[in-house]
Structure formats: C-alpha cells, structure tokens
C-alpha cells in the first residue's frame, strides 16, 4: 500500500503544481501553454483518481492525495515566482522632489513617465514605470533608498505596446527618430527632469 500511496502523493503534487501554473498562465494570456498543461494535468489526475478508486478503503491513499494537494499548491506558486513571467506596472506617489529617483530609474534602463499631481495632503509627484517581474525587487530597492516611506503600488500588466526607454536607446537611435535627444520623452508625454 505504501507504494500506491507514494504514487498518489507524487501524482497529486504534480497535478496541483501544474494546474496552479496553468491558471496563472491563463490569467497572463499564454493560451497554448495553458492548453498543453491542461492535457498533462488531466492525464495525471485520471491516474491519481483511478488509484484512489481502486484503493477506496485505504486511509494512506486519501492522506497521500490530500498531502499531495497541499504540497502541489505551494510548489506551483513557488515555481511561478521563480519564472517571474510578464511585466508589472509600478506606480509611485511621493511628495518629495522625485528628480533623483527618476534619474536612477532611467540609469537602470527603466522607462519613466512623470506627472505632477494633487494628493490628499497637497502636491505630489506621480511616477509610472513598467518593469519585467524579475526586475521588480531592484526597482523596489531604488524606491526604498529614495524614501522608505514612499507610497507605491504594483500591478500585473497583461499587454503592453511600444514605449520609450531613453537609457536603452543609443544617441544614434534617438537621432534617427528625427527628434533632438531631449525631446524623445516629450513624444509620449513624459516630463523631463534635471
């Protein structure tokens, strides 16, 4: 019975881990990958449930199934965090002069859109940047070094198009746009900072 219970545990762990990834891929719009994972998930699940049904009175098999489910959720989330797929929008709101933060973000190859705004307690600076998920910890570190109490939010971006990333463009690429270097950011409504 131990061998069957172990098989059920491994199968259910795999099923739930892969299904957790499948759900995340569906949410991010990865259609083909989601479909492929669905086929694998259902195949393994059918094996696991058939073993449970064959051994309906085996408590170890039920415990293995439940334990595999729990471990599978944990592993699925952990794997997805390590993959760090997709992009995220970071929205920063600060009442401090944001020039140094914007400069640091641009120096680290992040496009920045900056707007003056009015907050609950007065004037604030609203900064937007889209980053790859694996780069988020570095951006958060820059924000915290700028001001540990700065308010920021992070949201998943499902789709993005174009964009200006001034520090990634070489001067010759900027000039090929037919626009002076200083005006590149202004093309998309970005306020240039000193």
pTM of the predicted protein model: 0.60
Pair 92, 130 in one domain: yes
* Chain position carrying tokens 């993959």: 83
Question: Is 193 part of a structural domain of the chain?
Answer: no
Same domain, 97 and 139: yes
pLDDT of residue 162: 66
Residue with tokens 């991010």: 28
Q: What percent of the chain is predicted at pLDDT more than 90? A: 37
Confidence of residue 55 (pLDDT cuts 50, 70, 90): confident
Same domain, 29 and 95: no
My answer on whether 73 and 131 are in the same domain is: no
Same domain, 178 and 114: yes
From 17, 48, 83, the end of a domain falls on 83
Which 3 state secondary structure label does DSSP give 167?
coil
**How many structural domains are present in the chain?**
2
| Mean pLDDT computed over 99-121 | 89
What does the pLDDT read at residue 2?
83
For residues 18 and 36, give the distance between their C-alpha atoms in angstroms, rounded to a whole number: 10
DSSP line for 2-34: HHHHHHHHHHHHHHHHHHHHHHHHHHHT-HHHH
Find the CATH number of the domain harbouring 95: 3.30.70.120
Task: Give me Rg for the CA atoms of the chain.
Answer: 24
Residue 12 lies in a domain: yes
Question: Are residues 101 and 179 both part of a single domain?
Answer: yes
Q: Would you say residue 32 has pLDDT above 80?
A: yes
pLDDT at residue 191 greater than cutoff 50: no
Please give the average per-residue pLDDT across 36-60, as a whole number: 89
Tokens found for residue 45 = 């699940």
Is pLDDT at 179 greater than 60 in this prediction? no
Q: Which of 83, 115, 133 corresponds to the end of one domain?
A: 83
Contact criterion met (CB below 8 Å) for 115 and 126: yes
Residue 73, domain member (yes or no): yes
At residue 114's C-alpha, the angle toward residues 113 and 118, to 5°, is: 140
* CA diameter of the chain: 77
Considering 57, 83, 109, which residue would you say is the last residue of a domain? 83
Q: What is the mean pLDDT of residues 134-148?
A: 91
| Residue 129 in domain | yes
In a domain, 171, yes or no: yes
Which range of residues forms the domain containing residue 42?
2-83
Domain assignment of residue 180, yes or no: yes
Q: Is 78 in the same domain as 98?
A: no
Average pLDDT over residues 172-187: 36
Same domain for 125 and 166, yes or no, is yes
The token pair that represents 42 in the structure block: 């259902």
- From residue 130, give the alpha-carbon distance in Å to each of 43, 123, 162, 163: 38, 23, 11, 9
Burial group, residue 61, by CB count within 10 angstroms (0-12, 13-18, 19+): buried
Query: Is a pLDDT exceeding 70 seen at residue 175?
Result: no
Of the candidate ranges 3-7, 9-13, 158-162, the one whose mean pLDDT is the lowest:
158-162
CA distance readout (Å), 30 to 76, 158, 194:
16, 10, 40
């Amino acid at each position: 019975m131990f061998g069957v219970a172990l098989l059920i545990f491994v199968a259910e762990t795999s099923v739930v881990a892969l299904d957790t990834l499948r759900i995340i891929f569906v949410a991010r719009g990865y259609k083909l990958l989601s479909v492929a994972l669905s086929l694998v998930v259902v195949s393994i699940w059918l094996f696991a449930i058939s073993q449970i049904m064959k051994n309906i009175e085996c408590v170890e098999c039920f415990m293995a199934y439940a334990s595999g489910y729990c471990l599978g959720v944990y592993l699925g989330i952990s794997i997805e965090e390590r993959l760090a797929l997709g992009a995220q929008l970071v929205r920063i709101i600060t009442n401090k002069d944001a020039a140094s933060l914007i400069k640091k973000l641009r120096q680290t190859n992040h496009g920045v859109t900056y707007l003056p705004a009015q907050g609950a307690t007065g004037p604030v600076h609203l900064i937007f940047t889209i980053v790859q998920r694996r780069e988020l910890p570095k951006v958060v570190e820059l924000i915290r070094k700028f001001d540990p109490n700065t308010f920021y939010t992070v949201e998943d971006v499902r789709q993005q198009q174009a964009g200006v990333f001034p520090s990634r463009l070489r001067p010759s690429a900027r000039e090929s746009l037919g626009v002076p270097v200083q005006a590149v950011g202004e093309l998309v409504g970005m306020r240039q900072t000193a």
